[in-house]
Amino acid sequence: MDKIRVLVVDDSAIYRKVITEVLSGQPEIEIIGTAANGKIALEMIEKEMPDLLTLDIEMPVMTGLELLQELKKKKSPVKSIVLSGLTHEGATATIQAMSLGALDVVLKPNADSYQAGTDELKKVLLPRVKAIGSTLLRRKAGAPSRQDAPAVAPARRRRGSYGVVCIGVSTGGPPALTRMLPKIPADLGVPILIVQHMPPMFTKSLANSLNQVCPFDVLEAEDGMVLKPGQALIAPGGSHLKVVRSGAKVITKITQDPPENACRPAVDYLFRSVAEVYGGDVLSVIMTGMGSDGTAGARLIKSKGGTLFCQDESSCVVYGMPKILVENGDADGVFSLDKLAPAIQQSVKAGRPVCI
């Protein structure tokens, strides 16, 4: 059985031990070693060629960001998951890491004991390593993936006016959004709502980063914001986002309702409210991510006459959230990451699903 080869990079001996303990003993994972800084890691990468790094950002000699910059220069295929502290500086650095190719972020546990910290990392880090590793192994083996597919039912929706585009995304989302959103024009004509599974503070940094590269405003959603064209709102990490109608306006509500699908913010939570407010005048998009969050919400939108686009397997970091909907025939279009933005733009303009 092929194994995903992992290098643990952290300047803390305790974290190197905890992460190694969490990932060891799994039949699909092989720990090839540990490194206390980016310089040591770079040397080990050249010798051992791991598939995946668990990567600390703040390290002496060579930081995690500097390591990612070197790997990008060398066009290295090695992927990484960032482990970060819950601070403003950590969130900002993590988003920079994702712009350099990191695929996901896991919070370093703030636990009362070694065992509690180990248990927390096992819950949040291990599934990500397995999911990302599974994708990497399939691609290394040359396994075929589902490619772009034309819209399967463009006539389901009669021509009309979309009122909103809503996007659900998880693992691999920040780099995917950074690549896709800037291709959507400022004059799209409808607001965009996004749920990206991330911790508190990180969504604010993500919004700020996207705002610098998109032709429209990208903001972290706050309570009571009025939805308007030329704006994309990202659900704040650690909170749910929903929309409600207030007279002629549609406004945001930020809540602390219980997590759904082990997520807060949850895609299903937002999509339910969007379906209630806009009915079928919704273009929903499910992108890369593990799990099933968004499945029920996307189906609810479709039941009201809305449209669903999904990212294809070949361009997903983890083909989980879209896979369920695509394989059950729910998607009106399946597109590679580079074709999603044109599909969204043309469909909104036409008022119906458009196959590009």
Asked if 162 and 190 touch (Cβ cutoff 8 Å), the reply is: yes
Q: Is residue 111 helix, strand or coil? A: coil
Q: Are 44 and 33 in contact (CB under 8 A)?
A: yes
Beta bridge partners of 217: 231
State the amino acid at position 87 in one-letter form. Answer: T
Which two structure tokens, joined as six digits, stand for 165?
A: 């585009």
Q: What would you report as the CA-atom Rg of the chain, rounded to the nearest whole angstrom?
A: 20
The residues annotated with a catalytic role in the active site are 170, 197, 293
Phi, psi of 156 (to 5 degrees): -60, -35
Phi, psi of 346 (to 5 degrees): -70, -35
Judge whether 12 and 19 are in contact, CB under 8 Å: no
Outline where DSSP puts E strands in 137-238.
164-169, 192-196, 217-220, 231-234
Of 139, 198, 201, which Cα lies nearest the Cα of 174? 198
User: DSSP 3-state assignment of 278?
Assistant: helix
